Amino acid sequence: MLTELKRAEILNGVLERLNGRRACEASITHNTPIPNKFGLIGVDFTNGKFRARIRFCDALSGEDIRITLLRSDCADECDYAYRAAHIALWGSASWAACDDIMDELRKCQS
């Protein structure tokens, strides 16, 4: 289980990497993606560490962007980073939207 301090560190890192970007409405995932062999979405295992990555179409430039959000020894940290980034990009339209992450994101953004 992630501590409140660790969640705040991850959220700040995610927001810094996203740099205020928003996703195009057309790139919204309408169905919940299928989890990988770890049971997680957006997380893979490379070079001995878990990695959270997200891909989206940037709302302003229209570019297809892929961002590595976090590399960690802990899969839960990467899962949290991916879900937070998904919510930050798509807002309440995100399949990952849940009240606790959305509240924490609001606190970090203000």
What is the span of the domain harbouring residue 52?
A: 4-21+35-109
Per-residue pLDDT tens for 1-43?
Answer: 788 888 889 888 888 888 888 777 655 555 566 777 878 888 9
* Residue 27 domain flag: no
Share of the chain above pLDDT 90, in %: 18
Q: Are 56 and 49 in contact (CB under 8 A)?
A: no
User: How many Cβ atoms from other residues are within 10 Å of residue 29's Cβ?
Assistant: 15
Cα distance between residue 24 and residue 27, in whole Å:
5
* Residue 28 domain flag: no
- What's the pTM? 0.78
* Residue 85 domain flag: yes
* Residue 29 domain flag: no
* Residue 26 domain flag: no
* Residue 94 domain flag: yes
Overall number of domains in the chain: 1
3-state secondary structure of 17: helix
Say what angle helices 99-109 and 4-18 make with each other, to 10 degrees.
70
Which range in 20-24, 73-77, 93-97 is most confidently predicted, on average pLDDT? 73-77
